[in-house]
Structure 1
């Protein structure tokens, strides 16, 4: 059941709703749309009224205002949470988790927030080297952009890419590939500073035990700044536990509500 909310800058945001229960808002990461939650959608919908947002620029949210900034994404998420009536359990992944952390600073509509590996550059370093970003910007081929991103940013092996190439999973990410370079620029500019201390709702970070080290460094930097935040490991998993171990992921989400 799709619904639409208008963000403060006029961007139209679409989201799909399933299930019944307390409100939950799912916020996907880069190179994805609301369909990335398919592996856990049914399980979560047994316990929550699940609202799966298409972030601006893709899916149900292609009517986008021209100026892009991560704070516009924060306003988007805040607008949807407020439309849902507040006390919303937000579960966000990767770049979407970074957007949700920004949103938690400007709205009182969150009840709690799970942030699964929000990306952040290492001090003095990069999440993606500048020459890699330049290669993504230099091509008009969305599949090439996506391949560079998953191989060099997410560090997925070529065999994993070959396994999904041509599938619906891959096609949905190709559709969103044009948004990757702008999001990478926002990641590289992100600093985990005192503004995160404004967040007053419970926050739990998920961290894959097999993820690249830069993700754990980013998680630790956020936990250090957000009052009361803690970390739960996704054991045996990397950056995509919802795809490869959905039972562990759902159990960890539900455990946070019970905490």
Structure 2
């Protein structure tokens, strides 16, 4: 992997590399040419989780796929286990590399995109959030806390549990579950990035961001998987109630890992949303 400065990353035609931002090296992959669009993956994922979707996007889009702090090829740095810090990593990339851009985030990545929109509305032109939730209930917080302890004390057991979690998040693409699980296990490596990001999710149980969503001043569109049991329809409805102007799309026959279950449908919807130039998505 080539390590670049922020200015070099902005001008280099290379499709894969890493850029130094603050205390971390952020790994990225780029596809296409045109207007920049940032893709932020979810917990226990990495930039490769978007590959099947961005390959289906139309011309005129420069897709930047980023690895979250401690995931994939990005270093964990001095992670403080907050959504605010993860959003700061995203806005640093926007500020130093691409300039203002639409941001697409899945699950935790969707929360990060929303927080980035709150922090820097001058940099986030549009937030498209997929399978995301603005709050974490007690049961979900307990789940994340258990996974954190497992990742810190029994990495092999944690990897087996992550494979089981993956199996429950795929509805249609059942033949590829093992490969998807293997990719996710590789994405979290020694587990430090997972622990940091999972702590950020636990933080949403203590302090929900739902009320703050009303302060977002950029267009938002919510995409939900019809059969998502990890982030159910209720989570999307809570965000819609907080942001009545937000657009909404339900993807049929999709579990939590929508990009794995329905890459064609997701790419089609993202294409429609990204090319919109004016007004809020509907």
Q: TM-score range by the shorter chain?
A: 0.7 to 0.9
Cα distance in 1 for residues equivalent to 2:28 and 2:181: 21
- Alignment partner for residue 247 of structure 1, among 264, 269, 275? 264
Cα distance in 1 for residues equivalent to 2:75 and 2:150: 23
Cα deviations across residues 126-183 of structure 1 (Å, max 9, x unaligned)?
22535x7336513544453244246458834899889533x3x333311333133443
Cα distance in 2 for residues equivalent to 1:88 and 1:214: 26
| Corresponding residue of 1:64 | 77
Helix, strand or coil at the partner of 1:49: strand
CA offset at residue 12 of structure 1?
Answer: 2.0
Q: How does 1:46-125 map to 2 (within 5 A)?
A: 46-62=59-75, 64-107=77-120, 108-120=122-134, 125=138
Cα separation, partners in 2 of 1:129 and 1:153, compared to 1, 3 Å: farther
| Corresponding residue of 2:185 | 174
Cα separation, partners in 2 of 1:217 and 1:159, compared to 1, 3 Å: closer
Q: How does 1:200-211 map to 2 (within 5 A)?
A: 200-211=217-228
Helix, strand or coil at the partner of 1:58: coil
Conserved in 1, the CA contact under 8 Å of 2:224 and 2:233? Answer: yes
Cα deviations across residues 22-74 of structure 1 (Å, max 9, x unaligned)?
11111000111111112112122634111110111133312622433221100
Cα distance in 1 for residues equivalent to 2:47 and 2:258: 16
- Alignment partner for residue 247 of structure 2, among 230, 235, 244? 230
The range that moved more, 222-231 or 102-111, is: 222-231
Cα deviations across residues 68-122 of structure 1 (Å, max 9, x unaligned)?
3221100011111223443312111011111111111111211111100213556
Structure 2 unmatched ranges of 5 or more: 1-14
When the two structures are aligned, how many residues end up with a matched partner?
254
Conserved in 1, the CA contact under 8 Å of 2:221 and 2:248? Answer: yes
Helix, strand or coil at the partner of 1:126: helix
Provide the TM-score with structure 2 as the length reference: 0.78
Provide the TM-score with structure 1 as the length reference: 0.84
The range that moved more, 31-40 or 182-191, is: 182-191
Cα distance in 2 for residues equivalent to 1:172 and 1:99: 22
Cα separation, partners in 2 of 1:182 and 1:158, compared to 1, 3 Å: farther
Conserved in 2, the CA contact under 8 Å of 1:146 and 1:173? Answer: no
CA offset at residue 219 of structure 1?
Answer: 1.7
Cα separation, partners in 2 of 1:188 and 1:126, compared to 1, 3 Å: farther
| Corresponding residue of 1:187 | 201
Structure 1 unmatched ranges of 5 or more: none
Aligned-residue CA RMSD (Å): 2.9
| Corresponding residue of 1:133 | 145
Cα distance in 2 for residues equivalent to 1:189 and 1:153: 23
